[in-house]
Amino acid sequence: MNFPNKQIWARANASAGTATRVLTAAVLIPAVVALVWWGSTWLVAALGGLVALLALREFFSLGGRLNLQGYRWWTSLCALWIFFQQWSVSAAQSYQVGRNLRLTQAPALVPELPLELVFFVFLLGCAATVFALRRPLTDALGDIGISSAGLVFIVLPLSAVVRIHALDVLGPKLLLFALLLVWVGDTLAYFVGRSFGRMPMAAQLSPKKTWEGAAANLLGSAIVGVALFGWLNIDAFQAVLMACLANVAGQAGDLLKSAYKRGAGVKDSGTLLPGHGGILDRIDALILAAPVVWYYFRFLLASRF
């Protein structure tokens, strides 16, 4: 007898959730756009590092539900080191001094810190932590594993936003391009999936994701490529291909995060962003989309500029 009332209540909750989601996005998106467009690369690196720390916090909280106790403070310190390293590399100045010769000169105050050194020190710290803590040694492999996963799956790929932004005058444009293709794709996937989604994409990982939503997600990113190729001064085909490849990587990142949450038995990674869940819920696609944009530009487009 109460079935109609339950339907009305469910629709009201869904409408309220959508309104909250839109309101949160309306506040955050202009702030992020302003940061990318007017902010310096060191500011992007600093705030990117803060976002990575918040995402790591949620990542480790999910791991705690699986009895995986990551080395939070040590991993967070190395995460900031990675973002600093990416900024220090991007601070190098490059000059074309001949047809086949390019001179690169880094500022004297910026130390050269290769990524392999960061990870080597991280592993040494993990080894020291294993013997310093009182947790059973049988848990050490899992604890080191989730700590390493936090750096490899979240911090390192996300730090590509620093490298993108540092690309002289093109950097802010290219980073906005990466953000927009994720935002537009996610938005279309959300509304198309809710309205027309019928074919489950990965029911075991995320019951609400559908192939219709995934197709809309990909289409949204392609539209961004078509709309912005002239602004980026990039060939239209290259812009669309870069956007589509980044979108596919972003959707893979979303599914990986969903699998992790599913294993931990939670719906959202956190509650920091009303209507969106946690920080990790919001950046899951960007984590893998940003490196695709960076490496696509670096290896396939940079020589044309």
- The sign of the dihedral angle between the CA atoms of 304, 235, 48, 31 is positive
3-state secondary structure of 42: helix
Q: What are phi and psi of 39, to 5 degrees?
A: -80, 155
How much is the pLDDT for 146? Answer: 94
How much is the pLDDT for 97? Answer: 41
Which of 261, 214, 250, 211 minimizes the C-alpha distance to 65?
Answer: 261
How much is the pLDDT for 78? Answer: 97
3-state SS, 186-237, equals HHHHHHHHHHHCCCEEECCCEEEEEHHHHHHHHHHHHHHHHHHHHHHCCCHH
Determine the Cα–Cα distance for residues 180 and 161; give it in Å rounded to an integer.
13
CB atoms within 10 A of CB 182: 31
The answer to whether the CB of 214 falls within 8 A of the CB of 182 is no
Question: Which residue bears the tokens 């080597």?
Answer: 120
Q: For residue 56, with 0-12 CB atoms within 10 Å meaning exposed, 13-18 middle and 19 or more buried, which class applies?
A: buried
Which of 265, 204, 253, 254 minimizes the C-alpha distance to 67?
Answer: 265
φ/ψ region of 277 (left if φ > 0, alpha if ψ in -120 to 50, else beta) reads: left
How much is the pLDDT for 109? Answer: 56
Structure tokens at 296: 């696509």
How much is the pLDDT for 89? Answer: 86
Per-residue pLDDT of the chain (305 residues; tens, 9 = 90+): 454 554 444 444 445 556 776 787 788 889 999 999 999 999 999 999 999 999 999 999 999 888 888 899 999 999 999 999 999 888 765 544 445 545 454 554 556 678 899 999 999 999 999 888 877 777 888 899 999 999 999 999 999 999 999 998 899 999 999 999 999 999 999 889 888 878 888 777 777 789 999 999 999 999 999 999 999 999 999 999 999 999 999 999 999 888 888 888 887 787 776 766 789 988 999 999 999 999 999 999 987 66
Determine the Cα–Cα distance for residues 258 and 214; give it in Å rounded to an integer.
14
Determine the Cα–Cα distance for residues 112 and 121; give it in Å rounded to an integer.
15
